[in-house]
Amino acid sequence: MSAKRSIQRALISVYDKTNLIELARGLHDAGVEIVSTGSTAKTIADKGIPVTPVEFVTGFPEILDGRVKTLHPRIHGGLLADSRNPAHVKALQAHDIAPFDLLVVNLYPFSETVASGASEDECVEQIDIGGPAMVRAAAKNHATVAVVVDPLGYDGVLAAVRSGGFTLEERKRLASLAFRHTAEYDVAVATWMGSTLAPEEDAPAALPQWVGATWKRTAVLRYGENPHQQAALYRNDAEWPGLAQAEQLHGKEMSYNNYTDADAAWRAAFDHEDICVAIIKHANPCGIAISSTSVADAHRKAHACDPLSAFGGVIAANTTVSVEMAETVADIFTEVIVAPAYEPGAVEVLSRKKNIRVLVASEPAVGGTEFRQVSGGLLVQQRDEFTAPGDDPANWTLATGEPADPATLADLKFAWRACRAVKSNAIVVAADGATVGVGMGQVNRVDAARLAVQRAGDRVRGAVAASDAFFPFPDGLEVLIEAGVKAVVHPGGSVRDEEVTAAAAKAGITLYLTGARHFAH
pLDDT tens sequence across 275-334: 999 999 999 999 999 999 999 999 999 999 999 999 999 999 999 999 999 999 999 999
Q: How confident is the model at residue 2 (pLDDT cuts 50, 70, 90)?
A: low
For residue 93, pLDDT over 90 is answered with no
314, 316, 322, 324: CA torsion to nearest 10: -40
The DSSP code sequence of 350-383 is HTTSSS-EEEE-PPPPSS-EEEEEETTEEEEEEP
Task: Give 444-500 pLDDT, tens digit per residue.
Answer: 999 999 999 999 999 999 999 999 999 999 999 999 999 999 999 999 999 999 999
Cα separations in angstroms, 290 against 118, 164, 357: 41, 64, 23
Task: Give 368-401 pLDDT, tens digit per residue.
Answer: 888 899 999 989 888 889 999 999 999 999 999 9
Residues marked as catalytic: 140, 282
Task: Give 509-521 pLDDT, tens digit per residue.
Answer: 999 999 999 898 8
Residue-averaged pLDDT of the chain: 92
- From the list 113, 139, 147, the residue with the least C-alpha distance to 127 is 113
Q: How confident is the model at residue 269 (pLDDT cuts 50, 70, 90)?
A: very high
Cα separations in angstroms, 237 against 21, 24, 254, 296, 366: 29, 30, 19, 33, 17
User: Residue range 405-423: average pLDDT?
Assistant: 96
Give the burial class of 179: count Cβ atoms within 10 A of its Cβ; 0-12 exposed, 13-18 middle, 19 or more buried.
Answer: middle
* pLDDT score, position 223: 94
Question: Cα separation of 432 and 320, whole Å?
Answer: 22
Cα separations in angstroms, 251 against 9, 127, 234: 49, 43, 20
For residue 108, pLDDT over 90 is answered with no
With beta carbons less than 8 A apart as the criterion, state whether 194 and 208 touch.
Answer: yes
Q: Quick one: three-class SS letters along 452-470? A: HHHHHHHHHCCCEEEECCC
Task: Give 185-239 pLDDT, tens digit per residue.
Answer: 899 888 888 888 778 877 777 788 888 888 999 999 999 999 999 999 999 988 8
For residue 34, pLDDT over 80 is answered with yes
User: Residue range 403-422: average pLDDT?
Assistant: 96
Q: Quick one: three-class SS letters along 428-450? A: EEEECCEEEEEECCCCCHHHHHH
Question: Cα separation of 468 and 58, whole Å?
Answer: 69
The DSSP code sequence of 173-230 is HHHHHHHHHHHHHHHHHHHHIIIIISPPTTS-TTS-S------EEEEEES-SSSTTS-
Domains annotated for the chain, with CATH where assigned, are 9-195 (3.40.50.1380), 243-360 (3.40.140.20), 393-513 (3.40.140.20)
Whole-model pTM? Answer: 0.86
Residue 17 CB neighbour total at 10 angstroms: 14
Q: How confident is the model at residue 91 (pLDDT cuts 50, 70, 90)?
A: confident
Q: How confident is the model at residue 1 (pLDDT cuts 50, 70, 90)?
A: low
Question: Cα separation of 2 and 4, whole Å?
Answer: 6
Residue 390 CB neighbour total at 10 angstroms: 20
- From the list 287, 273, 379, the residue with the least C-alpha distance to 332 is 287
Question: Cα separation of 286 and 437, whole Å?
Answer: 9
* pLDDT score, position 366: 86
Phi-psi region of 336 (alpha: psi -120 to 50; beta: other; left: phi over 0): beta
